[in-house]
């Protein structure tokens, strides 16, 4: 399905995850974050970049992996992306929902 994000047509699935990572940019990211009521800070951007790197390397993402990453501690991850940090952070990063998220 198509959704208007940042005044552009973006292909998303039924949960709002981008279907084509090439359509992601910082403007789209900010709009996706606003939809989740998340104001992007420097730490949010750091997490988004980490998630995208893992995705591009085709490495699986999980809460346990985030905890071990050294990028962010788990308490801060939950406070930055409340109500489902891995689901929300990957959606904002423009990457598919991890298999570990049901």
Per-residue pLDDT of the chain (102 residues; tens, 9 = 90+): 999 999 999 999 999 999 999 999 999 999 999 999 999 999 999 999 999 999 999 988 888 888 888 889 999 999 999 999 999 999 999 999 988 776
Q: Active site includes 101?
A: yes
- Cα–Cα distances (Å) from 20 to 32, 63, 71, in that order, read 15, 24, 26
Q: If you search the block for the tokens 């359509």, which residue do you land on?
A: 23
Alpha-carbon span 31 to 8, nearest angstrom:
11
- Output the pLDDT for position 69: 86
The catalytic residue among 9, 24, 101, 102 is 101
């Amino acid at each position: 399905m198509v959704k208007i994000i940042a005044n552009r047509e973006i292909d998303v699935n039924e949960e709002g995850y981008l279907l084509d990572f090439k359509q992601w940019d910082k403007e789209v990211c900010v709009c996706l974050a606003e939809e989740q009521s998340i104001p992007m800070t420097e730490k949010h951007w750091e997490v988004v970049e980490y998630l995208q790197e893992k995705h591009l390397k085709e490495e699986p993402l999980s809460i346990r992996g985030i905890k071990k990453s050294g990028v962010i501690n788990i308490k801060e991850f939950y406070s930055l992306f409340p109500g489902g940090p891995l689901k929300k952070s990957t959606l904002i990063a423009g990457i598919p929902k991890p298999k570990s998220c049901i």
